[in-house]
Structure 1
C-alpha cells in the first residue's frame, strides 16, 4: 500500500528507534557477528519464581477467557496495594485501569485528551514514544531541554516559561528513560507550585521505574506530594521493569474519574482486556514478596558504578551518575566532529566494534548515546572495553 493510503495521524509518526537498533543487533548476531546489545530496556534478571508459578496456576485454573475490559477486580485491588505501598498514592480500585503494558496506558490517556494544536511539554531527552503519541493525537510537542551537567533535571521556572493557553499536558518520567534521572521531592513541589498557577495543564506521571531508585530516599511522585492537584494527575505504573515481566504486557493507570472512564472507553473499542493469564501473574507480582528487589537494586547499582566509571575514563565521553532505572545517557559532544555531528553515525561506529547502543537523537537529545546496564557484569566490562577501543 502506498503512503497516500495511510491516515494523516499515522503519517505523523515513525517506528521506535530503540526497537530498530535492537532488531539490527539481533540480525547481526544471527549472521554470526559478536554483538553485545546494550540497546534494550528490560531487566536481564529472570522473572521471580512466584510470578511464574502464578501464571501456571492461572492457566490450570482456566484463566484463558475474556475478563472485564479494564481488568479483573482482584488485580485492581492488587494494583491499589502497589500504588499505596510503592508510590504513596491512595488509589480507589474503581479508578484503576489495567492495560497491555504501561505504553498502552500512556497512549490511551493522550489519545483521549489531545486534540489538533494542543501542546504537551515533554522534558528532553525523552522516552522515544512520548512525542510520537502526542503527534499521533494531533498535538504539538514542546521540548523542555535538560542538560547532562545538570543531571538531566530542569528548573520549574523553565517549565513555566513554556506554558501557554494551549498546554494540555506535562509528561514526567522519574526515574527516567533514557537518562536515569530522578526528580527529588523538592523539585516536584516546585513543579506543583507552577501547576497551581495554570489550571489547564494536566500531568502524566510515568512511574514505571519507581522501585529502581538508588538514592536511598523514598520514591517521590506528584500525586502524593501535591494531593490538591490529584484531579489533574494521571499516574502510570506496571510490572515490566520492577518484576522483569516485559513480555507479560501489564500496565496500571490511575487518575481522575473522567479520564479513567475515557481510557476504559478507548480500550473497550481497541484491544479489549489485557491477557487474562498475564493478569493472574501480575496479581502475584503486586501482592507477593518484594524482597528480591533489594538484591536487584544492589546489583544494578554496582553495574551503574562500573559503567559510569568506565565511560568517564574515556576521553571525550561524560555521563552524570543516574539515580534510577538502568540507563546512562552518555554525552560525546567533544567527539562529534569525527562523526560529522551525527550521533547516529557514532552509534553505527560502535555497532561496527561490537556494541549496540541507541543514539541520543532518538530520544530528542543530541551528541551522544544511551547505554542500558541491564546486562551481566562480565558482558558490561567487555562492552566498556570495546567502546574505549572504538573511540581511542
Structure 2
C-alpha cells in the first residue's frame, strides 16, 4: 500500500512527539519531568464544568449547526466587542475543533499552489506545516533577541512579493512570549496598506500577559486592518480547556467564513455540542477571576524561571511578556538543539523542545505551565547537565 504523496510534505509535531516520549518513559518507571507541552496544569474552572453538566442533563447531545450554535457565536461576538471594541455578526464567526483546526481550515480554503505565507520565526511548529500541506510556500522572516523576537516593518516589506497571500501574526508568541505593542502593529499595518494581503492573527494567549502590559488585537488597529484580519482564538490556554477542543475565527469577510463552513461540513461537522455550551461562561467573562488567578501564578513561575536560567553560566533567557514559555539561549553550550534536548532527556530525565522545531537553532523551549516545585527541580537538573558538559 502506498501512502499519499501529500503526506511527504507534512512533518510530525515535535512537541507532541516529545510529550509522548516523556509519558512513555515515565510509564516505564523513569523519573521524567516534562516541560514540553503547552498545557496549563490548572483544572478547568468549575463554572465551565457545571455548564457542561447542565447541557448534558438537558439532553443537548445532538448535532448542531456546522459553525456552532447561535448562543456560543453571540458570546464570541460579545467577547470581541467587550475586550477589543470590535464589531462582528453571526455570519462572521466559525467555531472549530481547536484553533489548530481553525488554521487548517483557513489554509485549505485560502491557499492555492504557490501562494506565499509570511511567517516570523521562531514560529509555532504547526504554521509552516499546514501551509506546505495546502501547497503553499512558507516565507520565513528570522527575528532575534535584539527586536524581542518581533519582525520589523522593513523585514515585512522585503518579504512581500506578488505571490504573498497572508501574514501570520502570533501575539503573545509561542515559543518566545513576545507581545506586539499597538505602535508595532500600526507600523505593520502601514506596510500592508494598499495590498490584498490577509493577516491571520493567532491570539490564543491574549489573556496571559505580564508586567501590567495591555494586549492589543490586530483587527483593532484600523478599519483597514479589521477588514484584512482573520482573528484566530480559543479557550485551551487561558481557560485551561485544552481537551475540550474549542477554537474559532472571526472575519468580516463572509465568503471566507462560508468556505470554512462548507469544508468543515464535509470533515468534522460541528464541534462537540457539550463544549459549545461549556464555552459560554468563559466567553462572557464569568470566569475572569479564575483566569486572573492562573495568570498571576504563571507570572510568579516566569519570574523564578527566568532568574534561575540566567544564573546558569553559558545560558541566557529572554523574559517573555506573555504566554507560558521560555525560549532559552544555549548557543554557548550546544548550538545543536536536537542533540541537546535528546541528551538532556536521556541523562537527566528532563523533556524540553529543541529550538529547531520552531525554526531556530541554538535555543530550546521550556514550558512553565506546571507547578513551581517541578520547575525548580527541572532547572536544577538542567544546570547540573550543563555544568557537567
Is TM-score (shorter-chain normalized) higher than 0.5?
A: yes
Q: Deviation at 1:316?
A: 1.5
Moved more, 165-174 or 90-99: 90-99
Residue 43 to residue 323, structure 1, CA distance change in 2 (3 Å): same
1:390 aligns with 2:385: yes
Alignment of 1:256-271 (within 5 A): 256-271=253-268
Gaps of 5+ in 1: none
TM-score (norm 2): 0.97
Counterpart of 1:95 in structure 2 is 92
Say which SS state the counterpart of residue 26 (structure 1) adopts: helix
Counterpart of 1:124 in structure 2 is 121
Say which SS state the counterpart of residue 333 (structure 1) adopts: coil
Counterpart of 1:348 in structure 2 is 342
Say which SS state the counterpart of residue 291 (structure 1) adopts: helix
Question: What is the Cα-based RMSD across aligned positions, in Å?
Answer: 1.1
Say which SS state the counterpart of residue 80 (structure 1) adopts: helix
Alignment of 1:237-248 (within 5 A): 237-248=233-244
| Structure 1 residues 287-344: Cα deviation after superposition (integer angstroms, max 9, x where no partner) | 22312222211111110011101111111211110000000111111112xxxx4210
Q: Deviation at 1:230?
A: 2.0
Counterpart of 1:313 in structure 2 is 311
Counterpart of 1:324 in structure 2 is 322
| Structure 1 residues 125-174: Cα deviation after superposition (integer angstroms, max 9, x where no partner) | 10010000000000111111011343211211111100000000100000
Aligned residues of 2:149 and 2:178 also touching (Cα < 8 A): yes
Aligned residues of 1:12 and 1:136 also touching (Cα < 8 A): yes
Q: Deviation at 1:27?
A: 0.4
Alignment of 1:372-391 (within 5 A): 372-391=367-386
Moved more, 288-297 or 122-131: 288-297
Q: Deviation at 1:7?
A: 2.6
Say which SS state the counterpart of residue 249 (structure 2) adopts: strand
Aligned residues of 1:109 and 1:263 also touching (Cα < 8 A): yes
Equivalenced residues, count: 384
1:301 aligns with 2:299: yes
Moved more, 347-356 or 323-332: 347-356
Counterpart of 1:52 in structure 2 is 49
| Structure 1 residues 163-195: Cα deviation after superposition (integer angstroms, max 9, x where no partner) | 000000100000010111101110000000000
1:169 aligns with 2:166: yes
Aligned residues of 1:87 and 1:219 also touching (Cα < 8 A): no
Counterpart of 2:220 in structure 1 is 224
Counterpart of 1:212 in structure 2 is 208
